[in-house]
Amino acid sequence: MKGHRSAMLSNMACSLIEHKRINTTVAKAKALRVYIEPIITRSKVDSTHSRRMVFRQLKSKFAVAELYRDVAPKIADRPGGYTRIIKTGNRLGDNAEMCMIELVDFNELMLNDKGSDKKRTRRRGAKKTTASAAPAVEATEVVKEESPKAETPEAEVKEETPKAEAPKVKAKKEEAPKAEAKKEETPKVEAKKEEAPKAEAKKEEAPKAKAKKEESPKEEKGDDQDKKES
């Protein structure tokens, strides 16, 4: 049983070194990570002894050559954690948890994302915060210096407001004589109202005068008849 397990891990390690990523179950991937990371650490020292010790475990000269030629230069500055396990779901049939195990330094997409993250962390440094605080203080001082300049237009507006009120005062003064003239016209209207009844009385007296004129000839005729009879 032990020989089968070591043979399986050795074959999986050779496949991972050659293809840089393989798909397997989560349990096998965790066992492979424990098995291959010491081998990758040993590959940092390129010597005959280290090559023989690696070949003792991998049992493949092609995998050993690939490890020392391509993998070792890329992981030289990394202190550990050479592999990454990414879960991909469950397998049909036995419903086993599947994953992909890969070498960290050979995933270009993840390396680009990490490069952008490093830039962001540098922007958040303490040095730049102090530098950004200084311009902020200068900006506040500039605003304070500009604030009196901003007040000057308001003063001008306040000075202009009395000038705008002066024509209104004159207009009010001009309206006052007009109001007095209207008051003087009101007695005239009242006088006209008083004359109106007088005119009506004259119209009523006119028919009476006509009636008197008609009666006067009749009286004269009556007097002439009386004289003739006498």
Averaged pLDDT for residues 223-227: 60
The token pair at 148 is: 């009196």
pLDDT at 103 over 50: yes
The alpha carbon torsion through 191, 196, 198, 199 (nearest 10 deg) reads: 130
pLDDT at 82 over 70: yes
| pTM of the predicted model over 0.75 | no
Please name each of the domains of the chain with its CATH number.
Answer: 2-116 (3.90.1030.10)
Please, what sign has the CA dihedral across residues 189, 194, 195, 201? positive
pLDDT digits (tens, 9 = 90+) for 163-187: 444 455 455 556 665 666 565 555 5
Task: Kindly state the percentage of the chain with pLDDT values over 70.
Answer: 48
Share the mean pLDDT of the chain: 75
pLDDT at 58 over 90: yes
The confidence band for 52, taking pLDDT boundaries of 50, 70 and 90, is very high
CB atoms within 10 A of CB 17: 24
Per-residue pLDDT, 112: 74
Averaged pLDDT for residues 12-32: 95
Length of the chain: 230
pLDDT at 150 over 50: no
Q: Which range has highest mean pLDDT (90-99, 160-169, 185-194)?
A: 90-99
The confidence band for 144, taking pLDDT boundaries of 50, 70 and 90, is low
* Dihedrals phi, psi of 43, to nearest 5 degrees: -70, -10
pLDDT at 146 over 60: no
Helix intervals (H) in 67-107: 72-74
DSSP state letters, 70-86: IIHHHTTT--S--EEEE
Helix intervals (H) in the chain: 2-19, 26-42, 48-58, 61-66, 72-74, 108-123, 126-229
pLDDT at 10 over 70: yes
The confidence band for 51, taking pLDDT boundaries of 50, 70 and 90, is very high
